[in-house]
A and B are shown apart, each in its own frame.
Chain A
Amino acid sequence: MEKWSLMTITVLLGLIVRWTVSFGSYSGAGKPPMYGDYEAQRHWQEVTYNLPIKQWYFNTSDNNLQYWGLDYPPLTAYHSLLCAYVAKLINPDWIALHTSRGYESQPHKLFMRATVLIADLLVYIPAVILYCCYLKETSTKKKIASALCILLYPGLILIDYGHFHLGFALWGVLFLSYNWDLLGSLAFCLAVNYKQMELYHSLPFFCYLLGKCCQKGLTGKGLVLLIKIAFTVVASFAICWLPFCTEVEQILQVLRRLFPIDRGLFEDKVANIWCSLSVLIKIKNVMSPQTQLKLSFAFTFLTLLPACIKLTLQPSLRRFKFALVSCALSFFLFSFQVHEKSILLVSIPVCLMINEIPLMCTWFLLVSTFSMLPALILDGLLLDYVVTTLAFLTVCATSFSIFEKTSEEDLQLKSLSLSIRAYIPSFKAFPKIIKSLFIVSVTLMGILTSMSATLNPPQKLPDLFPVSVSVVSCLHFLFFLMYFNAIVLWDSRNGRNQKKIN
């Protein structure tokens, strides 16, 4: 069958799954007084439409920042404003100042879902399709399979708000893979201006582009490129922040909202090192907030420096993609105020490599969805989670035959195992270890899911299940951190010399 018809079918399947899931429950449905993320989105439309720009990020009588105040950069606000204009055309009650708090109705749900779907359709899905269509050295079957698996990734489907930032970041990677550096930087800047968590990806972008400039020679073409990129970045930031540039206080207030340093090391149960460590040591009680901040900074940068340095010295597209994963994962594990949904920032770069290391990527994507289980159960999405995860696993397992392809080369660990064999000559166990670990891990996740769904936790430990989910996921993420760093650091191949991977 022709490629375009298969791609159309893939896109339609992705859309159908998204649309049917979005008609399940949503976060905070029917839960006054604060409701959930859905209400937050609606509230932002209300605030941006009714109040002047100067007041969006400030605590005023009309704008109570405690009730879902804006804490994302300006592009999110502009997007909410656009949606608000459309909402006004359909039903002004949805965004009436003050009176529309907690507004819940079927047409409104339809409207919100439609905006999310359209946003995905315009930005995220084309990026995925173009990326898969232009994968080098892969058969058509693998391209379609990659697109299908990426579009069926449960994590993104189950989270009910727009993913513009991930879409823009994907466009950035796509442009960079064609050496259109300026467009790539522009796309990434837009992504950062949409959600500040995209800064997790900023170091790899920076190091890769810096490395490229260095390669071209810092005195000639490289310098020109560097200046052009710098100019693009500054210009895009300036345009996005233009309405706020009139007063320094405006900019500072926005920054304060974006980076709430006084909120503490972590909130709720996240699959993060700090949260998992707090099972053993109550870090919050032991150290002062300043020390916590410094400690998390230190650990984050320690873990991501090796990959970034290697990327700067020897930039290649492949290393860049792996570095995206490892840096984002370092940030997720060690950084400040990490939200559990930030794992998506790691998952999307992992999706990009699904045709190179299918087993590990599928494994990671399963774990990342599993780590969000407590939040999903709270939002009433358990059944959707089970169905989409099973579907995803089946599709990946059959399209990429992950259980057969577990040789060292397939796992990209050849260089590492060669080095290990220099010390331990009989070390050949990588494939078997990894396969058995995978099966154990999936079984464990299945058991924990069914336990969380059916059993009630004991009285003394009311948070038993969310905490165990977080700890298990955290251990997995540490393992993956080591794995991805190993690939980057031991990878001696250049972009040109890649063997044909099919």
Chain B
Amino acid sequence: SSVLKGGHLGIGGGGRTVKDSTCHSTDFEVHRNWLAITHNLPVSQWYYEATSEWTLDYPPFFAWFEYALSHVAKYFDQEMLVIQNLNYSSQATVFFQRLSVIFTDILFVYAAHECCKYVNGKRPGKELLEKPMFVLAVLLLWNFGLLIVDHIHFQYNGFLFGLMLLSVARLFQKRHLEGALLFAVLLHFKHIYIYVAPAYCVYLLRSYCFTANRADGSLKWSSFSFLRITSLGLIVCLVSALSLGPFAVLGQLPQVISRLFPFKRGLCHAYWAPNFWALYNAVDKTLAVVGIKYKFLDPEKIPKASMTGGLVQEFQHTVLPSVTPLATLICTFISILPSVFCLWFKPQGPRGFLQCLILCALSSFMFGWHVHEKAILLAILPLSLLSVESPKRAGIYLILTTTGHFALFPLLFTPPEITTKILLMLLFTVYSFSSLRALFRKEGPLLNWLETIYLIELVPLEIFCEIVFPLTPWNLKFPFIPLLLTSVYCALGITYAWLKLYVSVLTESVTVRQKAE
């Protein structure tokens, strides 16, 4: 498995450095800008600087990380650190940025290594290729989504997911304080992980602060340990103080919060993330079109702004009620509740926590405000850990991964990238299907016929969207149709996987309770 890790870094390294000559995404300029801001300006200016449109909107730890990187950057190319050099991208700059991602991925490799130790392989295969540990390592390290987002686009998700997986591994190893510390640090690197914070809170409270259970598995109130909850609280407060302290002292907290949570952006951005709101929007549009055709609605009253236009802007739904940030928050909260209750009342140890984490991530993805399709990785990577253990989870994993990854396709649209993404997607899909099928050979097929047909239909969809549609005359009139189709089709798959996972987790806990009684 050391080869795999080397291979991961290698493939990442190779793939990246060779793709230097292709076009850069805006993420590249975003991070260059942040390097410049943190290098040149004093801390008090970091969250006020607005020369470039890509302002600093990650928590302070990430800003300090960029600051540290900038000190290495100056040996590669001084010019990238000048704030006014918007869209500066010399060879050395690109090389340095790509190298930094590869380097920070080492943490991800280490975390994957730690997680692989806790895989419960019931049937250790004779061959290396059939061992659950090996399969999990490949599914994590060569995850298509992560490769695309980190290395072809440009983000630092590798090491952030590494932190998350490492904290999960620590919780598996019963090193709860370390796990909590790692998660607190992670939160202050990228606040999107707040999606899974409820799982952590409830699990640590229930399984760590209450040191013992009664005979039937329910809560033993008397075993509450003040020491433990104080230590947890201390860790969280310390980390937050380190991160937000300087800004609180300067009185800049409101500014920081407004940068971190920009609610001015719309419900969906230009390409709808395949969540519930995509389906909601699609239904709304269909009803609007139907309504205009059958004269239920007055065409004059409908706003002209298209929801899939290039700029992110607020818009109103025409037929169905408009959605506010508060509404999405309430929906998310309600959807998390069953899994959290499950974790509280029927804790199944670290595995139950992992299930709750995945469900929190998925539910937040389904109902969140201005969700980006990359957020599906938050659910896919932890689900990999469960997929090598039981055939049911493997089936759900296959559906979620294939649809989730397919939904990332619109991120890469230039001709050279199209071939790359198709080849990489085929590679990952063929591997995941055949390895999981080999692992669970004796359990029968992992997917039923309906699910298989759904996944196979992705191929014609892709051919239509990328090849056929651009050659038709509708391409000019309705340029958003491929994006809409992709988004809605994937939303169906992801919703189905979410519901299926929920049902299986809830029914499992019911059977556990029945067995206990």
Contact = CB atoms under 8 A, between A and B. Distances in A.
A500 to B, nearest CB: 20
A20 B415 contact: no
A106 B416 CA distance: 9
B10 A20 contact: no
B511 interface: no
Contact of A16 (B13, B427, B434, B435): B427
A8 B20 CA distance: 27
Interface string A5-29: 1101100110111011101110000
Interface string B62-96: 00000000000000000000000000000000000
A15 B435 contact: no
A286 interface: no
Nearest to A113: B416
B3 interface: yes
A39 interface: no
Interface stretch (B155-163, B312-320, B326-334, B418-426): B418-426
B18 A394 contact: no
A89 B13 CA distance: 37
B335 interface: no
Contacts of A19: 416, 419-420, 423
A25 B17 contact: no
B22 A12 contact: no
Interface in A386-413: 387-388, 390-391, 394, 398
Contact of B431 (A9, A17, A25, A390): A9
B434 A387 contact: no
Interface string B1-38: 00100110011011101111110000000000000000
Chain B contact residues: helix, strand, loop or mixed: helix
A271 B419 CA distance: 36
Interface of B: 3, 6-7, 10-11, 13-15, 17-22, 127, 129-130, 415-416, 419-420, 423-424, 426-427, 430-431, 433-435, 438
A384 B19 CA distance: 10
A390 B10 contact: yes
Most chain B CB within 10 A, of A5, A12, A17, A24, is at A12
A310 B343 CA distance: 77
B423 A21 contact: no
B130 A21 contact: no
A235 interface: no
B19 A8 contact: no
Interface in A95-137: 106-107, 110, 113
17 contacts: A1-B129, A2-B438, A9-B430, A9-B434, A12-B430, A16-B424, A17-B14, A19-B419, A19-B420, A23-B22, A23-B416, A110-B415, A383-B18, A387-B10, A391-B7, A391-B10, A391-B14
A110 B423 CA distance: 16
A387 B102 CA distance: 13
Contact of B18 (A15, A107, A384): A384
Nearest to A388: B14
Given A1-B130, A20-B14, A394-B6, 18 more contacts: A1-B435, A2-B434, A5-B433, A5-B434, A8-B430, A9-B427, A9-B430, A12-B430, A16-B424, A20-B19, A24-B21, A110-B415, A141-B127, A383-B17, A384-B17, A387-B18, A394-B3, A398-B3
Q: Is the interface of A mostly helix, strand, loop or mixed?
A: helix
Residue from A1, A23, A387 having most chain B Cβ neighbours under 10 A? A1
A16 B430 contact: no
Contacts of A141: 127
A110 B13 contact: no
Query: Quick one: which of B10, B419, B431 has the most chain A CB within 10 A?
Result: B419
Given A24-B18, A391-B14, A107 B415 contact: yes
Contacts of B415: 106-107, 110
Given A9-B427, A13-B427, A23 B10 contact: no
Interface of A: 1-2, 5-6, 8-9, 12-13, 15-17, 19-21, 23-25, 106-107, 110, 113, 141, 383-384, 387-388, 390-391, 394, 398
A367 B19 CA distance: 26
B109 to A, nearest CB: 15
A20 B420 contact: yes
In the A-B complex, the 6 residue pairs with the smallest Cβ-Cβ separation, listed nearest first, are: A5-B434, A387-B14, A12-B427, A1-B438, A20-B18, A16-B423
B431 A16 contact: no
Nearest to A399: B3
A265 to B, nearest CB: 36
A495 to B, nearest CB: 30
A6 B17 CA distance: 27
B3 A23 contact: no
A25 B19 CA distance: 10
Contacts of A391: 7, 10-11, 14
B13 A5 contact: no
Scoring B19, B20, B431 by chain A CB atoms within 10 A of each residue's CB, the highest score goes to: B431
A141 B126 CA distance: 13
Contacts of B11: 391
A387 B15 CA distance: 9
B3 A12 contact: no
A21 B431 CA distance: 23
A4 to B, nearest CB: 9
A487 B216 CA distance: 74
B7 to A, nearest CB: 7
A486 B372 CA distance: 64
B6 A25 contact: no
B423 A15 contact: yes
**Chain B CB within 10 Å — which of A2, A5, A13 has the most?**
A5
Nearest to A18: B423
Contacts of B420: 16, 19-20
Nearest to B2: A398
Nearest to B4: A398
Nearest to A391: B10
Contacts of B3: 394, 398
A25 B427 contact: no
B13 A387 contact: yes
A13 B416 CA distance: 17
A38 to B, nearest CB: 14
Given A19-B423, A24-B18, A394-B6, A110 B434 contact: no
B345 to A, nearest CB: 41
Contacts of A398: 3
A263 to B, nearest CB: 34
Contacts of B13: 387
Contacts of A383: 17-18
B15 A20 contact: yes
Contacts of B427: 9, 12-13, 16
A391 B11 CA distance: 8
Contacts of A8: 430
Contacts of B14: 17, 20, 384, 387-388, 391
Contacts of A106: 415
Contacts of A12: 423, 426-427, 430
Nearest to A20: B18
A12 B11 CA distance: 13
Q: Which of A16, A24, A25, A391 has the most CB of B within 10 A?
A: A16
Nearest to A397: B3
A5 B10 contact: no
A445 to B, nearest CB: 18
Nearest to A24: B18
A23 B423 contact: no
A113 B7 CA distance: 25
Contacts of A2: 434, 438
A144 to B, nearest CB: 9
A89 to B, nearest CB: 13
Contacts of B20: 24
A383 B91 CA distance: 13
Nearest to A110: B415
A394 B434 contact: no
